[in-house]
Amino acid sequence: MAKKVLLLVGDFVEDYEAMVPFQAMGSIGITVDTVAPDRKKGDVVPTAVHDFTGDQTYKELRGHNFAINKDFDQVNPEEYDGLYIAGGRSAEYIRLNSRVLEITRHFFEKNKPVAAICHGIQVLTAAKVLAGRTLTAYVAVGPDIELAGGTWKNIPADQAIVDDNLVTSPAWPGHQAILKEFYKLLNINITF
């Protein structure tokens, strides 16, 4: 039976952190519903491209339009096998939406697979689901994890950490690692 994953995004989600998992999961037959607070099927959210150009932090450029394919108000988390939370600036404000937090908590209460990348972990800190967990995130989110009762690990950007049903990666270079582990959590075996 095909798996179904909910992908949480919002305005100025990091371009790669929405586009790559959406396309990668779809390419192996996972149904991916993309949602954002206050958005309906057919709407788009603007994305941002984050890159390091020698400054102390990333530079943000306007990316693409990312399509929403399900009404946010119609999300029933019971219908999904897993949750994927994209990073970027969107995470800092979608975490203020009580329904986003309720949806996120559902996946932890039911021990369903959750993947979160970069700033997407801010949704997890706001949902108060990190007590006792070990995970990673973009370096600026590390203190938030500690304040939320988790243990933050500073790992290379192309790696991921798994803690029970949760897999995290610090940034978009970690797509291969986070998706590989997320597939395992979803009980998807890819062989060649």
**Alpha carbons 171 and 177: distance in angstroms, whole number:** 11
> Which residue type does 148 have?
A
Q: Which tens digits make up the pLDDT trace of 105-148?
A: 999 999 999 999 999 999 999 999 999 999 999 999 999 999 99
Give me the pLDDT at residue 57, please: 63
pLDDT surpasses 80 at 19: yes
pTM (2 d.p.): 0.95
pLDDT digits (tens, 9 = 90+) for 155-185: 999 999 999 999 999 999 999 999 999 999 9
Architecture of domain 4-185 in this structure: 3-Layer(aba) Sandwich (3.40)
Beta pairing, strands 44-51 & 161-163: unpaired
Tell me, rounded to whole angstroms, the distance of Cα 166 from its chain centroid: 11
Rounded to the nearest 10 degrees, the angle between the axes of helix 15-27 and helix 175-185 is 50
In the chain, the percentage of residues whose pLDDT exceeds 70 is 95
Catalytic residues, which ones? 119
Quick check: 50 pLDDT over 80? no
Alpha-carbon Rg for the chain in angstroms: 15
User: Hey, where are the domains in the chain?
Assistant: 4-185
65-90: pLDDT as tens digits: 999 999 999 999 999 999 999 999 99
Residues 132, 134: Cα–Cα separation, whole Å: 7
How far is the C-alpha of 73 from the C-alpha of 162, rounded, in Å? 30
Residue 190's pLDDT is 87
